[in-house]
Amino acid sequence: MALAAQQEKRQENISGSRRRPELELLRCIAMMMVITLHFLGKSGLLEGGSEGNMMVMAGSWIFETAAVGAVNLYMLLSGYFLSRSHFKLSRLLKLLLQVWTYSAGIGLAAAALGLVPAEEFNTYFLLQLLFPILQAHYWFLTAYIFLYLMLPLIGNAVCEMEKKTFQIVLGLFLTAFCLIKTILPFQLETDAKGYDCLWYLCVFLTAAYIRRFGIPFLEKKRRAFFLYAVLSCLILGGSFAIRWISTTTGHLEYIRGNTYHYNHLLPYLASVCLFMVFLKLKMPEGFFSRLAVWAGPYTLGVYLLHENLAIRYLWPHWFGTDQITGVLGLTWRLLTAVAVVFAVGILVEWLRNLAMKGLHRLLMGWKGYRAVISKIEEADALFSGKSGGNHSAGEPDRGRA
């Protein structure tokens, strides 16, 4: 992986960190794809909108296919960096605070503004806001944090396994949680459709394997992108084939959407191919590479903002989804929604980050707070093998989601 090492070294010169602009660009694109999935899924456009328009439906499914690898891509990026990262208690606590800030802050603000109907503002709603991880308010973060808690156990293992051993372990996981589900023509009781920590672990292992050993067959960007395009066509074609069989015969009804599940073999392979394209990409130094490096760390805030329980079904309609009557209208409103939601989310997270830094500096004047921070730093040092040492403020956090 000499090329990756060179690119990481080049990125240090660009931004003073070890973030690669190519992967931060992919992080931004993956979040835009997430917004696309939510826009289409929560507005009824996948069923043709309010009037059941067939052209709108077809266009929506094409966009859905292009974006279906979003979650796996974000997981691959997280796993790629986590596999070379130590567990940090400080990182875990910062992430929990970030999630809680959005969950409770946005949710209660939306309720105060009257965006939440009175009958929905109940105990369940409040529990979702106040305990977002345990209540799976944001399923992706629930899966991520549970995996992060396992990092002290699995981190060293993925760094020390021999290649053949790693291939067997990864093969067993993918067989259990991906291949069997893909082959069998019925729904499995154990199938969580990729919305769980076990599937995240499969993708984490995939990313760790790629980082250590690479995938020689996908080393060429053109080949990887061509395979991504082919797999995307198979996802779309396979879905329509199953739907046709289900409609005409009455069978396979329970697996009509299988090819769009994150743990189906086709989206998984498509995500790996697209990840390899960006892994081998070389962005020129300049404004766009610096912009990608700046925006990348804030993308999680975009997800936490627009997927908040209080507004997740409201914001797509703010872009006039009920007025879409054709493919051009669909395209325009979708691109507008993605651009606006992404930009607003980045801005909000940037401001939140500034506020948290300011609050941290203010609280550092309190002896009790400094004592807590010192204990957290001691815990970080223990997990990193630097007992007694503290991490400097400028150390790059390679475990960022």
Query: CA 327, CA 386: separation in Å to the nearest integer?
Result: 57
Q: Residue 11 in contact with residue 19, Cβ under 8 Å?
A: yes
Q: How confident is the model at residue 27 (pLDDT cuts 50, 70, 90)?
A: very high
Q: Kindly list the distances between the CA atom of residue 161 and the CA atoms of 219, 311, 355, in Å, as whole numbers in the listed order.
A: 22, 44, 42
Give me the mean pLDDT over the 79-89 stretch.
Answer: 92
Tokens read off for 311: 């507004």
What lies within 8 Å, CB to CB, of 360 at 6+ separation is none
For residue range 314-336, list pLDDT tens digits in order: 999 999 998 898 999 999 999 99
At residue 354, the pLDDT reads 97
The pLDDT of 183-197, averaged and rounded, is 90
| Token pair belonging to 343 | 């930009």
pLDDT in tens, 119-168: 899 999 999 999 999 999 999 999 999 999 999 999 888 989 999 999 99
Cα torsion 268, 171, 209, 178 to 10°: value is 20
Is residue 378 exposed (0-12), middle (13-18) or buried (19+ Cβ within 10 Å)? middle
> How far is residue 290's CA from residue 397's CA, in Å, rounded to a whole number?
18
Percent share of the chain, pLDDT over 90 = 77
Task: Convert 333-363 to b/e letters by CB count within 10 Å (16 or more is b).
Answer: bbeebbeebbeebbebbeebeeeeeeeeeee
- List C-alpha distances in Å: 67 to 48, 165, 295: 18, 33, 20
Does residue 28 carry a pLDDT above 70? yes
CA 263 – CA 284 distance, rounded (Å): 34
Length of the chain, in residues:
401
Q: Where are the domains of the chain?
A: 2-384
Q: Is the pLDDT of residue 172 over 70?
A: yes
Residue 12 has pLDDT above 60, yes or no: no
| Cα(341)–Cα(202) distance, integer angstroms | 30
Asked if 207 and 76 touch (Cβ cutoff 8 Å), the reply is yes
Residue at token pair 């992706």: 140
Report which residue type is found at 288. F
* 10-14, 35-39, 102-106, 222-226: least confident range: 10-14
**Taking phi first (over 0 means left), then psi (-120 to 50 degrees means alpha), and beta for anything else, what does residue 194 get?**
left
